[in-house]
Structure 1
Amino acid sequence: MTHVVSENCIKCKYTDCVDVCPVDCFREGPNMLVIDPDECIDCAVCIPECPANAIFAEEDLPADQIAFIKLNADLAFADGWKSITKRKPALPDADEWNGQPGKVKDLQR
Structure 2
Amino acid sequence: MTYVIALPCVDVKDRACVDECPIDCIYEGPRMLYVNTEECIDCGACEPACPVEAIYFEDDTPDEWREFTTANQEFSATLGTPGGAARLGVLPNDHPLIAALPPQPPA
**Given that residues 18 and 85 in structure 1 are in contact (C-alpha distance below 8 angstroms), is that contact kept between their aligned partners in structure 2?**
no
Note the alpha carbon deviations across 1:82-108, whole angstroms, 9 max, x for none: 95349xxxxxxxxxxxxxxxxx7137x
One-letter identity of the residue aligned with 1:106: P
2:102 is matched with 106
Aligned residue pairs total 89
Match of 1:27, SS state, is strand
Q: CA deviation at 1:77?
A: 4.3
CA RMSD of aligned residues (A): 2.4
**Given that residues 2 and 57 in structure 1 are in contact (C-alpha distance below 8 angstroms), is that contact kept between their aligned partners in structure 2?**
yes
Displaced runs of 4+ in structure 1, greater than 4 A? none
**Given that residues 25 and 35 in structure 1 are in contact (C-alpha distance below 8 angstroms), is that contact kept between their aligned partners in structure 2?**
yes
Residues 1-109 of structure 1 aligned to structure 2 (within 5 Å): 1-78=1-78, 84-85=85-86, 105-106=101-102
**Given that residues 47 and 53 in structure 2 are in contact (C-alpha distance below 8 angstroms), is that contact kept between their aligned partners in structure 1?**
yes
1:96 is matched with none
Q: CA deviation at 1:43?
A: 0.6
Q: TM-score, normalised by structure 1?
A: 0.72
2:90 is matched with none
One-letter identity of the residue aligned with 2:5: V
Q: CA deviation at 1:78?
A: 4.2
Match of 2:13, SS state, is coil
1:5 & 1:30 partners in 2: Cα distance?
14
Match of 2:101, SS state, is helix
Note the alpha carbon deviations across 1:15-56, whole angstroms, 9 max, x for none: 000111111111110010010111001111101100110000
Q: CA deviation at 1:76?
A: 2.8
Q: TM-score, normalised by structure 2?
A: 0.73
